[in-house]
Structure 1
C-alpha cells in the first residue's frame, strides 16, 4: 500500500501559523527521510484565500530532487496549470479537485460541479501532453457540509463525466463523515465507469478515518493520503479536522501485512516536529506518544 504524504499541502493549509519556505522544505526533507516517496507539497490556490500556499512555486523549486521521489501539486483551474508549467523544477503530477456537490463546488471554486469538470477535462488533456501524471480528486464524495448526504450514484455520475484523461482517481472524505460501508459502495460505483487506479483521502473528524483506510485497502484502493502528525483540514469546510496521520496509518498497515515503506518511529518524530513548528501543544497522531510496537 502506498502512503501519499499530504502534510506539506493539506496539512499546512488549514493551520493558523504560516510557515516559511525553508521550514516547508525541511518538512519535505524529513518526510522523505522517514520513507515517504510520493508527496503533495503545494497548491496553486489564490494567496488571499489560502495564504499558507502563497509560496507554492518557491517550495517546488527548493525541495530535494532525488531518490525516486515524486512531487504532486494541487490545481483548481487552468491558471494553476500555467503556474506549474512556468517552473524550472516542475511537479511530477497534478491533482485536480472537483467537488461532488454543486453547493460546495460554488463555494470552493465558484462554479457548479459539471462546469468544474469541463475545466478538469481541458486541464487534464494539456497536463498529460506536457508529461504530468494526472489525478482527479472528487471532494466531499462521502458527504457535504452544505448539501448533506452524497450518494454513490452522484459520485458515479461525476466520475463518468470526467473522461479518460486521468492516471488516478481519488475519492475524498473532505469533512470526515464516511464509514467503511460507504468506502465499499463508492469503490463499486466508480468501478462501473472508470478503470483508473483508486486512491483515497480520509479525515478523522469523527474517528472513522482508520477504519475507512482498512476498508479501502480491502476494496482494492492502491494509495492512501495521510499527513504527518495528523495535521490539516479543509479551510472551506466547517469543522473539517485533520487528515489521518501518516505514522499511525503506517503502523496500522505495516502490522496488518500491507507494508508501506514508512519507518513509523521516524515518521512520528517528524509529526512531533511539525507540530512544534506550528505551535501546536499536541498533534492528533498517537504514535509520537505511544511509540512503535514491539519497541
Structure 2
C-alpha cells in the first residue's frame, strides 16, 4: 500500500514539476485552453493504455494496437460512408473489429504458447494492411457525422475524454476489486502457481487480449472523430506511446504489478511533455530525443524497482 501511494505521489510531483517548468518557459502554456487541448488529445491513448496495463500485468505485450486503431476506424468509416450507418452502430463495428483482432492475438499466443511479442508484431502488419485495403490506401473523409465524440461539451472537454475517464475508473475497480483482477496479478506474478491453485490462466489471458483489442477499436473511433476521417496511416507509433505511458505509470514489464490510475498519470505526463515541447519551439528531432530519454529512464526505474522487490522478498 505504501509503495502504491509513493508511486502516485511521485507521478503527481513529476506532473506538477513538468507543468511548472513549461509554464515558466512559455507564457502561453499555463492556460485553460492548453489544458483543455491536452485533455481532448489523450482519449485514444488513454483507453488503449488501460488495456495495455492489463496485458503487461499478465506479463504479455501487444504491439498491434496502433494498427488495430487504424483498421477499426477504417471499418467504421466503411459502414458509415457506404452503408450509411449512424455513429453509434459504427462505434460498435469499430469495437467489434478490435475485439476480433485481440481475440486472434490471444488465441494464437495462448493456444500455441507463442510469445505475444511475435504474434502481435504479426497482427501489426495484418491490421495495417487490412486498413489500407479497406480504404483503398486513401483517407476516407466522413465529415460531421462522426465529430460528436470530439465536440466540446461543458468546460470545453469532449465526450471522448469523459468516456476515457469513466473507462479508467471502471478498469481500476476491475483490477483491484474483482476476482478477474486478482487472477491477472496472480498470472503475472507466478503463472505456474495459479495453475497449481486450480486456476486455468488461458481464458484470463485470452480475455485480456480481447479487452485491449476492443479498447483499441474504440480508440480508433476517437481518432477518426478528431480527424473527421478514417486515415489508414493513423496510429503509426501509437503502441510505443501507449507502452511508454504504462511503464511511466509504474506497471512492471515483468508482470504482476500495475495500476490503471497510475497509467492515466503516465498518459498525462507524456501528453504534457509533448505539448510543452511544442510550445517552447522544440524541433521534431529534439522532441523525439527527449521523449525517448524519458521512456528509457522509466524502464530503468522499473528494473531498479523490480530488483529491490526481489531483494526484499
- TM tier, shorter chain? under 0.3
- Pick the structure with more strand per residue: 1
- Pick the structure with more helix per residue: 2
Q: Normalising to structure 2: TM-score of the pair?
A: 0.26
Q: Normalising to structure 1: TM-score of the pair?
A: 0.27
Highest CA radius of gyration, 1 or 2?
2
